[in-house]
Structure 1
Amino acid sequence: MLIITIKQGKEKGLLSGEPWIYVSAIEKVEGKPQERNKAGATALVQSSSRQFLARAAYNAKSQIAARVWTLREDEPVDHAMIKRRVQAAVLKRTEALRSADPQALMQLVNGDKDGLPGLLVHSYGGTGGYLVCQFNAGGVDLWKVAIVQALIKATDCPNVYERCDALLRKGEGLPVAPRALAGDEPPQRLMVRDGGKLLPMDIRTGFTYPR
């Protein structure tokens, strides 16, 4: 595992709940070169006095050098943690989904707020519809397979599509390759409810067609 040492005094943001660690806050990064160069590799974050602060996803290619997974020393970053967090995010929004118009695009996962930094997931059409995911950071991109498996299990929706924000992914040093990750790709044009209106949209990109 990588070890990130934070500059003296720069740990205050982490201790107050700030989920991002910028390059300017890091004193040094220790670990094997292949791990240091892997976008999203798990790192132990420690203070300048070598006290545990967090576990985070490290990305040398990003200005946000690390994104916090957990502040708990006894919580490993593994498949079980990813599964728990995806399930909790979906469960939090289950009632809203049940009462929502099936043609609405509903948010299922909201990044740092759900303990999955950089991950955005929207649902369209319920269990027979589509999940549209954005992996906007190295950590969640590295755990993509586990996240997709957990989403399918938590929602019973078999169709998962990856939408790519080219600017964000390039800024993280990640490839831009939108595609179906499971099941079928959404049609190019669907009717999506926005407030009281139905609008033609490509949910793969977020593009709304002129009416």
Structure 2
Amino acid sequence: MESRTEAVILKPGREKPLLQRHPWVFSGAIRNLPEDAPDGSVVEVRAHDGRRLAQGFLNRRSQIQVRILTWDPHEAIDAAFWRRGLTRAIQMRAALPLGPDTTAYRLVNAESDGLPGLVVDRFGDWLVLQSGVLGLEPHKPALAQLLLELTGCRGVYERSDLPARRQEGLTASTGLLAGEEPPPRLEVMEHGFRFAVDVRGGQKTGFYTDQRPNRVRVAAYCPGRTVLNAFAYTGAFSVYALAAGAAHVTNVDASLDALELGEENLGRNGFSPEHRTESLCGDVFQILRDWREAGRLFDLVILDP
């Protein structure tokens, strides 16, 4: 169903970021808000002189009061719009040289794909969806069904429990959106390495797919070195480091559950948690201060807080 649009009017001279395709309109750039448009609705954005610039989701509660959906002021924000956006994002990922040895990757990356606030990660036959924008909330069931149709996956699970939702006036929302429930642990592959992913209780969507190229880059520096993996989570950087020939890897994280899953991931890739590795549960900053006093050093430090 097509959304009715009302207009947000910018202050003089504040249209430049939009003309340069910046996807956010901050509160300080706005001269007038439409009186009758509810938060979460689609509004048109106009320059002070009436030029029609874009359309986006309105939310007066956020400092980002408009998140741009389209630069075409005439485009209908309807079911066909969402289908086009998801199809475009999926086709772009299909062109990546991932190969069959990588089954975990970011399928939809919010504003980067012209779909503000929407993040979707693919883990084998399951998708994990995060919604961080008020305007997306009523669209989630339809988006989940579209994702199943377009990908052939078995289920879409929601993990919209990120703290940033509070800035949109939203509370946490998790659970099955469409299809089948994912198992408690999903096994995925990344460049042939195997990782268990907890999509229900893990951080963010369960696995940091966006760090894939960084794990490859860091591994190149690891041969023969002692490595500290701070904020280690479930140990993906550690697996890459050990496979590259690191002499020893120390994992530090505040979550015991994450470290235990990290040790499981070491085993899945042929490494023993008892050999060339150690895991410490605690506050990284305090542990680093303690090591500074003790004079403990590492050849390479991975910091991904």
Q: TM-score, normalised by structure 1?
A: 0.87
Deviations 1:35-90 (A, max 9, x none): 33x3x210011111122111111111212111111111221211111111111111
Q: What letter matches 1:65 in structure 2?
A: Q
Secondary structure of the 1:77 match is coil
CA distance in 1, matches of 2:47, 2:96: 41
1:88 matched to 2:92? The reply is: no
CA distance in 1, matches of 2:195, 2:123: 13
Counterpart of 1:176? 172
**Offset, 1:147:** 1.6
Cα distance, 1:196–1:154 mapped onto 2, change above 3 Å: closer
Q: What letter matches 2:58 in structure 1?
A: Y
Percent of residue pairs bearing the same amino acid type = 35
Contact 2:141 2:178 in 1 (8 A): no
1:20 matched to 2:16? The reply is: no
Deviations 1:7-57 (A, max 9, x none): 11111110111100011111111132xx33x3x210011111122111111
Secondary structure of the 1:80 match is helix
1:210 matched to 2:262? The reply is: yes
**Offset, 1:195:** 4.7
**Offset, 1:193:** 3.1
1:65 matched to 2:117? The reply is: no
Structure 1 or 2, whichever has the larger Rg, is 2
Contact 2:126 2:153 in 1 (8 A): yes
- Between 1 and 2, higher relative CO (CA 8 Å, sep ≥ 6) is seen in 1
CA distance in 1, matches of 2:55, 2:32: 15
CA distance in 2, matches of 1:203, 1:121: 12
Contact 1:87 1:150 in 2 (8 A): no
CA distance in 2, matches of 1:195, 1:97: 11
1:116-131 correspondence runs (5 A): 116-125=115-124, 129-131=125-127
1:120-159 correspondence runs (5 A): 120-125=119-124, 129-159=125-155
Q: What letter matches 1:116 in structure 2?
A: L
Counterpart of 2:292? none
* More displaced 10-residue stretch of structure 1: 156-165 or 78-87: 156-165
Q: What letter matches 2:171 in structure 1?
A: P
Counterpart of 1:4? 8
Contact 2:107 2:122 in 1 (8 A): yes
Taking only aligned residues, the RMSD between alpha carbons, in angstroms, comes to 2.0
**Offset, 1:185:** 2.1
Counterpart of 1:74? 74
Secondary structure of the 1:157 match is coil
CA distance in 2, matches of 1:109, 1:81: 15
Cα distance, 1:166–1:82 mapped onto 2, change above 3 Å: same
1:45 matched to 2:34? The reply is: no
Q: TM-score, normalised by structure 2?
A: 0.62
Contact 1:83 1:146 in 2 (8 A): no
CA distance in 2, matches of 1:157, 1:200: 18
Cα distance, 1:140–1:179 mapped onto 2, change above 3 Å: same
Cα distance, 1:97–1:168 mapped onto 2, change above 3 Å: farther
Q: What letter matches 1:17 in structure 2?
A: R
Contact 1:117 1:139 in 2 (8 A): no
Secondary structure of the 1:91 match is helix
Secondary structure of the 1:93 match is helix
Q: What letter matches 2:82 in structure 1?
A: I
